[in-house]
């Protein structure tokens, strides 16, 4: 039997800059879970076209909210051609009943524990409408074909995941809906095996917080140190700077950059989000300490909180430039379905559209408290232009010369993406803001 696995793009006419594409892992886990007697073909639509006439028996599509409409479109086309289609991923997990309107079957949550059963049921003409395992076993090693992942990305970044679940319950995040609140670990020896079998030297840990369990993180860093790899990941600022041994082990194990969800530089907003940093001065000291360890900082900032004003954009960029932050994701608050903020804005009649394509961190889909939707959208774009201006890149380089190749390549990719984003928003201007910018 032949199985086709697809990760759709958001827009079939627009592709993401290869240097900024997050490495995929989910489909490769599915391929590894598939009994070897079956043939598996993986298509990432961001890098190649989907052949609707391809000969296959079963089609599996994994999607998030922004690319759900494109996933539904592919479902419709494959089902027209008599194919059985399975949907999975974040969006079908949050809204399984919606997803079932478009597919023959939905996998809710994680695929481990259900995928092999699903394939067997399909072969026996007994496919169920929904599959869900609330507590899949992560102890078993899942082989992955890393050679295919490398071909699809710049920098040859190999994705690795060591944990599932998040104990926090942020208003704007749906990770707990997908993986649960309990943090579960993949055995360290399995992570080491992934790294060794990939034959690669550059890795991205996809965990929401690679140091969420310091004891596990220290064991992991000690185990991968002899492998002489380079890696990037996501972590908590406060947790990292409070534990000197943890930070040192991370650096010694090959950590070159970390993604930090700072979200806001407003003391009021930080308290609202229950951040553990004691104000901006404490945050600045923490960032200096991380940079001193030789770790580049990628900050994730969010615009559009109810406490934000038009002055917030400049305050945020001045903070990032002053502290010579390597790179930053400048996002717009996005009310994803399944989150508290989505329900709150819906009750307040502040949601503007229900087209999931625009739920992408970059597009305003709600009415802000202290500015118009258009002012929020333009403010975010102009902030990104300022942060990734040539002057800013050169000025911030003075604090990031310990990893110059990574620094300049990441900033160059973002400089190019600014133009793409501005062009896209200009294209959607009438659709999104014509009746909401005044």
Q: What is the CATH number of the domain that holds 14?
A: 3.40.50
274 and 341 in a single domain? The answer is: yes
Strand partners, 42: 5
**Mean pLDDT across the stretch 362-385?**
94
Q: Tens digits of per-residue pLDDT, 409-426?
A: 889 888 888 877 777 676
435 pLDDT above the threshold of 60: no
301 and 199 in a single domain? The answer is: yes
Q: Tens digits of per-residue pLDDT, 40-67?
A: 999 999 888 899 998 999 999 999 999 9
Q: Flag whether 355 is in a domain.
A: yes
If one compares 182 and 92, the residue with the highest pLDDT of the two is 92
195 and 264 in a single domain? The answer is: yes
Q: Flag whether 141 is in a domain.
A: no
Categorize the per-residue pLDDT at 150 as very low, low, confident or very high, splitting at 50, 70 and 90.
Answer: low
CB 104 within 8 A of CB 94: no
What percent of the chain is predicted at pLDDT more than 70?
A: 87
Q: Flag whether 140 is in a domain.
A: no
| pLDDT of the residue at 282 | 84
Range of weakest confidence among 12-26, 157-171, 268-282, 416-430: 268-282
Handedness of CA 218, 220, 223, 225 (dihedral sign): negative
- Phi, psi dihedrals of residue 7, rounded to the nearest 5°: -115, 110
Range of weakest confidence among 22-31, 186-195, 227-236, 267-276: 267-276
What's the whole-model pTM score? 0.89
Please compute, for residue 235, the number of CA atoms within 13 A of its CA located in the half-sphere on the CB side: 30
Long-range contacts of 120-126 (CB under 8 A, 24+ apart): 122/57, 122/58, 122/84, 123/1
Q: Check residue 306 and report its DSSP letter.
A: T
> Token pair of 276, please?
């553990």
| pLDDT of the residue at 326 | 95
Q: Flag whether 145 is in a domain.
A: no
190 and 126 in a single domain? The answer is: no
CB atoms near residue 282 (< 10 Å): 15
Q: How far apart are CA 231 and CA 213, in angstroms?
A: 18
Strand partners, 331: 302
| DSSP per-residue letters across 156-219 | GPEEE--EE--S---TT--HHHHH-SS-EE--HHHHHHHHHHHT-SEEEE--S-TTSSHHHHHH
CB 133 within 8 A of CB 112: yes
Pairing of strands 163-164, 184-185: antiparallel
361 and 251 in a single domain? The answer is: yes
| Domain of 268, in residue numbers | 158-433
The domain spanning residue 278 has which CATH number? Answer: 3.80.30.20
297 and 386 in a single domain? The answer is: yes
182 pLDDT above the threshold of 50: yes
87 and 196 in a single domain? The answer is: no
| DSSP per-residue letters across 137-169 | ---S-----HHHHHTTSGGGPEEE--EE--S--
Q: Flag whether 265 is in a domain.
A: yes
**Mean pLDDT across the stretch 150-163?**
75
175 and 85 in a single domain? The answer is: no
- Phi, psi dihedrals of residue 219, rounded to the nearest 5°: -65, -40
Handedness of CA 193, 196, 197, 201 (dihedral sign): positive
Distance of CA 340 to the CA centre of its chain: 19
89 and 26 in a single domain? The answer is: yes
437 pLDDT above the threshold of 50: no
Q: Flag whether 323 is in a domain.
A: yes
Q: Flag whether 147 is in a domain.
A: no
Q: Round the average pLDDT of the chain to a whole number and report it.
A: 88
Q: How far apart are CA 156 and CA 148, in angstroms?
A: 11
Q: Where are the beta strands (DSSP E) in 242-335?
A: 255-263, 296-303, 327-332
CB 312 within 8 A of CB 267: no
269 pLDDT above the threshold of 80: no
- Of 325, 320, 337, the C-alpha closest to 383 is 320
Q: How far apart are CA 377 and CA 433, in angstroms?
A: 9
CB 166 within 8 A of CB 160: no
Strand partners, 130: 106
What percent of the chain is predicted at pLDDT more than 90?
A: 65
309 and 420 in a single domain? The answer is: yes
| pLDDT of the residue at 429 | 63
432 pLDDT above the threshold of 70: no
> Token pair of 372, please?
């118009």
> Token pair of 424, please?
């896209």
Pairing of strands 230-235, 255-263: parallel
**Mean pLDDT across the stretch 135-156?**
78
- Phi, psi dihedrals of residue 280, rounded to the nearest 5°: -65, -40
Q: Flag whether 144 is in a domain.
A: no
Range of weakest confidence among 4-18, 113-127, 161-175, 268-282: 268-282
Based on the structure, what is the number of domains in the chain? 2
127 and 169 in a single domain? The answer is: no
79 and 210 in a single domain? The answer is: no
Range of weakest confidence among 154-163, 194-203, 224-233: 154-163
285 pLDDT above the threshold of 80: yes
Strand partners, 297: 258
- Tell me which residue has tokens 């049921």: 121
């Amino acid at each position: 039997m032949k199985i086709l696995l697809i990760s759709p793009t958001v827009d079939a006419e627009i592709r993401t800059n290869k240097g900024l594409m997050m490495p995929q892992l989910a489909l490769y886990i599915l391929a590894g879970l598939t009994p070897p007697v079956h043939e598996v073909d993986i298509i990432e639509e961001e890098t190649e076209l989907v052949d609707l006439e391809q000969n296959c028996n079963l089609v599996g599509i994994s999607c998030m909210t922004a690319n759900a409409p494109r996933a539904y479109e592919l479902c419709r086309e494959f089902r027209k051609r008599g194919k059985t289609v399975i949907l999975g991923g974040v969006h079908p997990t949050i809204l399984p009943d919606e997803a079932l309107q478009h597919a023959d079957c939905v996998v809710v949550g994680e695929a481990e524990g259900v995928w092999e059963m699903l394939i067997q049921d399909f072969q026996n003409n007994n496919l169920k409408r929904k599959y869900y395992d609330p507590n899949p076993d992560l102890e078993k090693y899942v082989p992955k074909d890393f050679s295919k992942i490398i071909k699809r990305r710049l920098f040859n970044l190999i994705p690795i995941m060591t944990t599932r679940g998040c104990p926090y319950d942020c208003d704007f995040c749906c990770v707990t809906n997908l993986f649960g609140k309990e943090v579960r670990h993949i055995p360290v020896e399995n992570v080491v095996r992934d790294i060794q079998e990939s034959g690669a030297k550059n890795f991205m840990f996809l965990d929401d917080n690679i140091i969420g369990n310091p004891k596990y993180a220290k064991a992991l860093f000690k185990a991968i140190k002899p492998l002489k790899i380079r890696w990037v990941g996501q972590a908590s600022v406060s947790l990292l700077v409070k534990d000197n041994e943890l930070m040192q082990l991370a650096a010694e194990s090959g950590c070159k950059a970390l993604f930090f969800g700072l979200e806001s530089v407003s003391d009021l907003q930080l308290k609202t989000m229950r951040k553990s940093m004691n104000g901006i001065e404490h945050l600045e000291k923490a960032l200096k300490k991380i940079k001193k360890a030789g770790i580049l900082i990628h900050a994730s900032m969010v615009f559009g909180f109810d406490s934000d004003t038009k002055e917030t954009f400049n305050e945020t960029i001045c903070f990032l430039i002053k502290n010579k932050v390597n790179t930053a994701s400048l996002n717009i608050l996005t009310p994803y379905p399944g989150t508290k903020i989505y329900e709150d804005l819906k009750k307040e009649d502040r949601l503007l559209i229900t087209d999931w394509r625009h739920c992408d961190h970059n597009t305003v889909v709600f009415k802000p408290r202290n500015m118009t939707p258009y002012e929020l959208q333009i403010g975010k774009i102009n902030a990104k232009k300022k942060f990734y201006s040539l002057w800013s890149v050169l000025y911030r380089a003075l604090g990031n010369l310990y990893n110059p190749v990574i620094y300049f390549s990441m900033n160059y990719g973002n400089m190019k993406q600014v133009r793409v984003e501005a062009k896209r928003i200009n294209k959607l201007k009438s659709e999104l803001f014509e009746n909401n910018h005044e």
